[in-house]
Structure 1
């Protein structure tokens, strides 16, 4: 169940993050961005300890996905 939860939250966060950052990707990449963002954001929120619960997980996933897209754009512009 935790893996399914991660995929669902990752897909939602990835979708919102790609729209906020104006990045068009396919479904698989959107989910991967969301899951990566969830991992990054989860670590950030655990470190800060500011928010708790499922809403915090979603917020963390969204912030992490936005951060991941930002880094991705910086790296891809250098090539």
Structure 2
């Protein structure tokens, strides 16, 4: 069974700047790859980001998205 069929489908809405930056990051990672065993997609990077968030979950605190972001040392994006 292909790997993508073993994964649970989740949807997320992202800001336009996030979508553009994610696509650019994917292209950069693709260019730097040494082997081509599996594709690096936007979803690949999102899964890595979720793993990072879960690994730092103990640090997560706040009532708003901005609070949650700040608790992880991230600055507020320019709106």
TM-score range, shorter chain: 0.3 to 0.5
- TM-score computed with the length of structure 2 as normaliser: 0.34
Which structure ranks higher in relative contact order (CA pairs < 8 Å, sequence separation ≥ 6)?
1
Q: Given the two structures, how large is their TM-score scaled by the length of structure 1?
A: 0.34
